């Protein structure tokens, strides 16, 4: 892409020739009104060219070091294109990306060694417990470790064009950790008091943002249009994500995790995610440039909010509210590696064109972690005020494994419009357990329910839940197996449905208050349709 095109996609209304003039004006502003005495340093004062050709990361790092040496401050990126390798963040130093400022990830050097991005740091015996990308931070465009008080703000953009996606770089060089290859736009480890606000990320590599062991983290008003994960919030405490747009067709959009990457199990806790839009339905870059080009390959389009898949430390005290899902997979909560997951609220959600299960709750036993780990716990989850339209044939899924039930789930005020079309053969299926398989809504194949598939669950309550299908469907609205304590109040099922419930090894079942269905209360059911 030419410099003029880059400035256009960044939302800059100036030509390439005019960029130095604008940058000079910003430098003059910095010197006159918010110069060094006010704690502002321009990267151009330290030799950055901003021309999209010279490697500017040495000058940028000099500016950051100077601000840190002065006790803190803000490093200004005036309008321009700053071709860079690794930029090393420092405590008490913020970066401000002005309108028209682009930090552009430089291409991987030939051979992938000797220059380029900082090397991936070595890890301990726990490295096999998660994918390579989760275990390393230094091999990134911007990174920081053990820092206090950092920020990246402003309306500019970070473009990870030269970053690897986790397998190969754009030059076909394998991303196996050798020096020179970067694979994340922003990576933070064991930091405190972090603010990320207002900027854009285009093509963020393996992760647009990877935050691991970060406390007091605020992510606000970002636009992330990327080729893998938008943001991963791993082993973090007191996190607030708000007002963000994430288009991530090929991986997850907003993804809390609790891996073993720190060498011990640390929960992700006290988290709010609010007022965000997630999608996987658009060609990467077309959300930022405003063309909104639809991705026609419907086999991809991930783009969701998911808690997992790495799940050693657990998730506690988390609320996801007032969010919009479009052309992506649905919401997921997963514990696969021994994690305790509890006190989760998912409320005020609208979903359209969901490509898998609208909601996926999974307690499995993959157990990727220390050998003494025990199967996890998933309990006390509220799902409420949710509407989903145009979803796939997959129902919402609540699935534990034999001997380990999901517990205390309340689902209320929900409308699920499914595509329907399920056959009698699908209604007769008995899906395999797949206790140690990778967790994904498609893991069981076709399922024998239109609305909810619930297996190995204890204390399940649904109220004011409506299931609608666009096409006739031979499957029951609700399929329950090994469920103890199931209350259904005022539910609605598709007109003409063969049955509302297919019950198998169910105890303490009750359905009441529905206009369509007679009230029924059953102490023990081996197998029965209602």
Each residue's pLDDT tens digit, 346-360: 999 999 999 999 999
pLDDT of residue 111: 55
* pLDDT bucket at 166, cuts 50 / 70 / 90: confident
CB 401 within 8 A of CB 365: yes
Q: Is the pLDDT of residue 187 over 50?
A: yes
Helix (H) or strand (E) holding 499: none
Determine the Cα–Cα distance for residues 38 and 70; give it in Å rounded to an integer. 11
pLDDT of residue 297: 80
- The vertex-341 CA angle with 339 and 343, nearest 5°, equals 160
pLDDT of residue 495: 86
Paired with 462 in beta bridges are: 411, 488
Cα→Cα distances 165→105, 158, 183, Å? 13, 15, 6
Paired with 382 in beta bridges are: 345, 410
For residues 41-52, give the mean pLDDT.
98
Give the closest residue to 120 by CA, choosing from 31, 183, 51, 173: 183
| pTM: predicted TM-score of the whole model, two decimal places | 0.92
Per residue in 79-98, pLDDT (tens digit) is 999 999 999 999 999 999 99
Q: Is the pLDDT of residue 1 over 70?
A: no
More confident residue, 367 or 5: 367
Q: Is the pLDDT of residue 12 over 60?
A: no
Q: Is the pLDDT of residue 391 over 80?
A: yes
Q: Is the pLDDT of residue 207 over 50?
A: yes
Tell the residue number behind the tokens 């716990």, with chain if given: 377
pLDDT of residue 497: 82
Determine the Cα–Cα distance for residues 39 and 73; give it in Å rounded to an integer. 4
Tell the residue number behind the tokens 């607030």, with chain if given: 240
Cα→Cα distances 58→61, 86, 157, 165, 512, Å? 5, 9, 19, 24, 69
Long-range contacts of 118-127 (CB under 8 A, 24+ apart): 118/85, 118/86, 118/88, 118/143, 118/179, 118/182, 119/177, 119/178, 119/179, 119/180, 120/177, 123/261, 123/263, 124/263, 126/260, 126/261, 126/263, 126/370
Q: Per-residue b/e over 520-529, b at no fewer than 16 CB within 10 Å? A: bebeebeeee
* pLDDT bucket at 110, cuts 50 / 70 / 90: low
* Token output for 59: 């000058």
Least confident of 63-77, 85-99, 116-130, 214-228: 116-130
Least confident of 14-23, 101-110, 287-296, 466-475: 14-23
pLDDT of residue 226: 98
% residues pLDDT > 90 (the chain): 83
Q: Is the pLDDT of residue 18 over 80?
A: no
Q: Is the pLDDT of residue 23 over 80?
A: no
pLDDT of residue 459: 98
Q: Give the CA radius of gyration of the chain.
A: 25
Cα→Cα distances 119→86, 115, 131, 183, Å? 9, 9, 17, 11
CB 357 within 8 A of CB 320: no
For residues 322-343, give the mean pLDDT.
96
Give the closest residue to 194 by CA, choosing from 219, 221, 230: 219
Can you give the residue ranges of every domain in the chain? 455-530
* Token output for 31: 């010197």
What is the CA 443 to chain-centroid distance, rounded? Answer: 20
Determine the Cα–Cα distance for residues 487 and 365; give it in Å rounded to an integer. 27
* pLDDT bucket at 239, cuts 50 / 70 / 90: very high
Least confident of 122-126, 261-265, 395-399: 122-126
What is the CA 226 to chain-centroid distance, rounded? Answer: 11
* pLDDT bucket at 39, cuts 50 / 70 / 90: confident
pLDDT of residue 530: 94
**Average predicted confidence (pLDDT) for the chain:** 91
CB 191 within 8 A of CB 150: yes
What is the CA 146 to chain-centroid distance, rounded? Answer: 23
Per DSSP, the three-state class of 23 is helix
Determine the Cα–Cα distance for residues 158 and 10; give it in Å rounded to an integer. 9
Per residue in 131-165, pLDDT (tens digit) is 888 999 999 999 999 999 999 999 999 999 999 98
Per DSSP, the three-state class of 135 is helix
Paired with 340 in beta bridges are: 377
CB 360 within 8 A of CB 339: no
Determine the Cα–Cα distance for residues 286 and 246; give it in Å rounded to an integer. 12
Least confident of 6-10, 177-181, 223-227, 499-503: 6-10
Q: Is the pLDDT of residue 428 over 50?
A: yes
- The vertex-151 CA angle with 150 and 154, nearest 5°, equals 165
Q: Is the pLDDT of residue 316 over 50?
A: yes
pLDDT of residue 168: 45
Determine the Cα–Cα distance for residues 240 and 263; give it in Å rounded to an integer. 25
pLDDT of residue 114: 52
Determine the Cα–Cα distance for residues 492 and 512; give it in Å rounded to an integer. 11
pLDDT of residue 137: 96
Residues 6+ apart with CB under 8 A from 5: none
Q: Residue 345: CA atoms inside 13 Å, Cβ hemisphere, count?
A: 13
Per residue in 299-310, pLDDT (tens digit) is 768 999 999 899
Determine the Cα–Cα distance for residues 374 and 385; give it in Å rounded to an integer. 34
Per DSSP, the three-state class of 7 is helix
More confident residue, 30 or 419: 419
Q: Residue 408: CA atoms inside 13 Å, Cβ hemisphere, count?
A: 10
How is residue 298 annotated by DSSP? T
pLDDT of residue 238: 98
Residues 6+ apart with CB under 8 A from 190: 145, 146, 212, 213, 214, 262
């Amino acid at each position: 892409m030419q410099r003029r095109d880059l400035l256009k996609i960044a939302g800059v209304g100036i030509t390439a020739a005019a960029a130095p003039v604008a940058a000079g004006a910003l430098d003059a502003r910095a010197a006159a009104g918010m110069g060094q005495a006010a704690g502002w340093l321009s990267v151009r004062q330290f030799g950055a060219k901003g021309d999209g050709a010279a490697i500017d990361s040495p000058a940028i790092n000099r500016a950051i070091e100077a601000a840190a040496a002065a006790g803190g401050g803000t490093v200004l990126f005036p309008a321009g294109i700053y071709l860079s390798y690794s930029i090393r963040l420092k405590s008490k130093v913020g970066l401000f990306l002005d309108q028209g400022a682009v930090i552009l990830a430089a291409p991987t050097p030939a051979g992938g060694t000797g220059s380029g991005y900082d090397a991936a740091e070595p890890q301990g015996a726990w490295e096999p417990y998660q994918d390579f990308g989760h275990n390393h931070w230094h091999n990134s465009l911007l990174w920081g470790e053990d820092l206090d008080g950092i920020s990246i703000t402003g309306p500019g953009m970070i473009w990870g064009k030269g970053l690897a996606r986790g397998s190969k770089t754009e030059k076909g060089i394998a991303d196996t950790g050798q020096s020179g290859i970067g694979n994340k736009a922003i990576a933070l480890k064991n930091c405190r008091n972090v603010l990320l606000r207002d900027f854009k990320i285009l093509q963020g590599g393996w992760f647009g943002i990877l935050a691991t062991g970060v406390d007091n983290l605020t992510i606000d008003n970002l636009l992330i249009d990327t080729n893998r994960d938008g943001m991963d919030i791993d082993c973090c405490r007191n996190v607030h994500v708000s007002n963000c747009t994430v288009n991530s067709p090929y991986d997850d959009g907003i993804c809390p995790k609790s891996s073993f990457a720190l060498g011990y199990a640390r929960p992700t806790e006290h988290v709010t995610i609010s007022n965000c839009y997630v999608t996987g339905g658009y060609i990467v870059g077309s959300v930022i440039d405003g063309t909104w080009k639809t991705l026609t390959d419907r086999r991809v389009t991930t783009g969701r909010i998911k808690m997992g898949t790495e799940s050693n430390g657990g998730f506690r005290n988390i609320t996801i509210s007032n969010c919009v899902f479009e052309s992506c997979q649905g919401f997921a909560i997963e514990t696969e590696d021994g994690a305790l997951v509890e006190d989760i609220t998912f409320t005020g959600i609208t979903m359209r064109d969901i490509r898998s299960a609208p909601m996926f709750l999974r307690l499995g036993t993959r157990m990727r972690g220390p050998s003494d780990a025990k199967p996890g716990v998933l309990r006390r989850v509220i799902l409420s005020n949710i509407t989903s339209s145009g979803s796939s044939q997959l129902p919402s899924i609540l699935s534990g494994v034999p001997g380990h039930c999901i517990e205390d789930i309340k689902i209320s005020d929900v409308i699920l419009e499914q595509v329907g079309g399920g056959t009698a053969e699908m209604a007769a299926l008995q899906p395999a357990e797949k206790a140690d398989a990778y967790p994904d809504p498609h893991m069981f194949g076709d399922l024998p329910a239109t609305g909810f598939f619930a297996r190995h669950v204890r204390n399940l309550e649904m109220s004011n839940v409506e299931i609608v299908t666009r096409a006739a469907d031979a499957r029951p609205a609700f399929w329950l197996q090994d469920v103890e304590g199931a209350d259904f109040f005022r539910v609605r099922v598709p007109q003409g449905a063969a049955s509302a419930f297919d019950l198998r090894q169910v105890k303490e079942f009750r359905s009441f208050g529905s206009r369509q269905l007679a009230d029924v209360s059953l102490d023990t059911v081996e197998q029965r349709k209602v």
